[in-house]
Amino acid sequence: MTSRRISYVVFALLVSLTLFISNPSVFAARCQISNVSYGYPHQATTSQQILVTSTVTGSCVSNGEDYYLIRVDLVDIPSSSIVSSNSTSIGYQASNFTVTAENIVTTPANNGTWHVGIYLYVIREGGTAGSYLLDYQTVGNASIQIGPPAAVPEFPSGLTIGIVVVLCSTVLSVNRHKRLRATDKL
């Protein structure tokens, strides 16, 4: 009875090992990204088309059989909707690369600060695995001022001086009134 159990365990281990070895995607290492930088205007007008660039430097385990690309989605944070999407090729040889993806997006029609999420993905396609694999992802944030900045209300200098004069005269009047009462009691 125990020899039968040992046989089943050995058989199960052999099958598992065979499946593990025969699956090439198990050994595929993820991409190592060394730098991601973003470029975008910090101020724009309403309904203006602007360019957002995402530059990625890195390396992926690449034997020339898999095709790599970068996908960048720009997401309007308040509505959580994708407002621009673009894919840029890295190619079949992705052992060392620097790639810049460009997204063109139209700014909102309202003035104010526009918050945009920059979702960046490195994707491996096809090859021996025959599937799409996400090898890297990151999220950056951008704040773009749309239209002129909101004006901060200021007091006119004449009003400030007037307030100071009124306060000083009130304090003096109250003090004088207290002194007159004190002398009347004597």
Q: Percent of the chain at pLDDT above 70?
A: 62
Cβ-proximal residues to 4 (8 Å cutoff; 6+ apart), any chain: none
pLDDT more than 90, % of the chain = 42
pLDDT band at residue 151 under the 50/70/90 scheme: low
Q: How far apart are the first and last CA of the chain?
A: 120
Class of residue 58 by CB neighbours under 10 A (exposed 0-12, middle 13-18, buried 19+): buried
Cα–Cα nearest to 60, from 101, 31, 91: 31
Task: Pull the structure tokens for residue 15.
Answer: 């099958």
Which pTM does this prediction carry? Answer: 0.62
Q: What is the DSSP string of 58-108?
A: EE----SSSEEEEEEEEEETTTTEEEEEEEEEEES--SSEEEEEEEEEEPP
Residue 63 has pLDDT above 50, yes or no: yes
Q: What does residue 145 show for φ and ψ, rounded to 5 degrees? A: -80, 120
Nearest-angstrom CA–CA distance, 97 and 58: 6
Task: Identify the residue with better confidence: 166 or 31.
Answer: 31
